[in-house]
Amino acid sequence: EDAEYKNISEKHRHLIETLPKHNGWWTPYLYNYNGFWLSPNILKSNLILHSYFKPHPTDIFLASFMKSGTTWLKALIFSTLNRHRYSFSNHHLHNHSPHSTFFMLDVESYPITDFTNSLTPRLFSTHFAHTLLPPCMSSCKFVYVCRDPKDVLISMWHFMNKIRPKDLPPLSLDEAFELFCLGVSDYGPFWEQVLSYWRASLEYPDKILFLKYEEIKKEPEVVVRKLAAFFGKPISEEEEEKGEVKEIVKLCSFENLSNLEVNKEGFEKFGTLVDIEKRGFFRKGVIGDWKNYLSEEMKERIDGIIDEKFKGSGLVF
């Protein structure tokens, strides 16, 4: 262990003792660090990130709030960027999960993974708010995806109950709802995390492509063209004629990905922190499933909070 890492460990210990804390969704506590609720391990990763991570100018980051379409975007970004490398009849994603094509920045632990073997551009994903990232990363390109908070809540509630330790009772929807409305959830408050990227995307539109789950559902082909152009490799006329865009959309569709053996069996490793059942990343993949769970009163309350928090920002859900 070097001196810097010792400092990090000490700082982490001190933070855990002094930061405001609240009971979490699947960890005993979340800690409020610079305005965001993080579990102890993720907090430590953030300190490590600031000390050790050296971005390359060509790196591409996918940022999202949890359960907003990260898995889908990983597949879309990977297949759009690497469309010359693989054929659609024998594609890398047929036997590698979308998650395996990205490094999850938030869980890389010391000694920070040697990323030198990866393809260029290197692909990273994160759930950290933009303001929690080292400033040196802001010269890189980011794709951000957000989603209707009511669908995020329901998706997260299902997911957290899957990863919650078995010795804890299940988290009820009422509890999850209260926590979400308080802004207490991993990487939350939801609205602060979304707004951190929204504001940055207004300031640096050529660096941050801000997407919504719902717009991708409605017009996936438009989004693929947007992604390709954003990465500086627009879809050519010849590619359009060959139907490349349609192929990418089909490959990355919920129906296709969720039925691949590689996404059905086994576990996804996120650093040394957690192993998560792969099938847990594919549940329904629809817009508006919240209607099957939230009462009218709950809907009104969330909508009220969201209206207030996003008022004047120019972002509407």
Catalytic residue IDs: 127
Burial (CB < 10 A; 0-12, 13-18, 19+), residue 121, is middle
Residue nearer to ligand A3P on the CB measure, 52 or 88: 88
* Closest approach of ligand A3P to the CB of residue 289, in Å: 5
Are residues 160 and 25 in contact, defined by beta-carbon separation less than 8 angstroms?
A: yes
Residue in the block written with tokens 């629809």: 286
| CA–CA gap between residue 292 and residue 3 (Å, rounded) | 53
Binding range to ligand A3P, per CB under 6 A, among 34-42, 117-125, 136-144, 253-261: 253-261
* Closest approach of ligand A3P to the CB of residue 103, in Å: 16
Tokens of 235: 């879809």
Residue nearer to ligand A3P on the CB measure, 4 or 275: 275
- Contact between 224 and ligand A3P by CB under 6 A: the answer reads no
φ, ψ of residue 64 to 5 degrees: the values are -165, 160
251-269 per-residue burial string, b: 16 or more CB within 10 A, e: under 16: bbeeeebbebeebeeeebe
**Pairing outcome for strands 60-64 and 103-104:** unpaired
- Contact between 129 and ligand A3P by CB under 6 A: the answer reads no
Residue nearer to ligand A3P on the CB measure, 216 or 228: 216
- Residue from 261, 284, 303, 304 binding ligand A3P (CB under 6 A): 284
**Residue 129: how many CA atoms within 13 Å on its side-chain side?**
23
Binding range to ligand A3P, per CB under 6 A, among 53-61, 64-72, 181-189, 225-233: 64-72
| CA–CA gap between residue 91 and residue 83 (Å, rounded) | 10
Tokens of 251: 């490959």
Binding range to ligand A3P, per CB under 6 A, among 14-22, 37-45, 134-142, 248-256: 248-256
Residue nearer to ligand A3P on the CB measure, 12 or 103: 103
**Pairing outcome for strands 36-38 and 29-33:** antiparallel
Using DSSP's 3-state secondary structure scheme, residue 287 falls into coil
| CA–CA gap between residue 67 and residue 69 (Å, rounded) | 6
* Closest approach of ligand A3P to the CB of residue 262, in Å: 13
- Contact between 254 and ligand A3P by CB under 6 A: the answer reads yes
Are residues 36 and 188 in contact, defined by beta-carbon separation less than 8 angstroms?
A: yes
- Residue from 27, 71, 80, 101 binding ligand A3P (CB under 6 A): 71
* Closest approach of ligand A3P to the CB of residue 95, in Å: 17
* Closest approach of ligand A3P to the CB of residue 35, in Å: 22
Span 263-282, contacts to ligand A3P by CB under 6 A:
281-282
- Contact between 157 and ligand A3P by CB under 6 A: the answer reads no
Tokens of 207: 């660096």
- Contact between 68 and ligand A3P by CB under 6 A: the answer reads yes
Binding stretches for ligand A3P (CB under 6 A)? 64, 66-72, 151, 155, 158, 252-254, 257, 281-285, 289
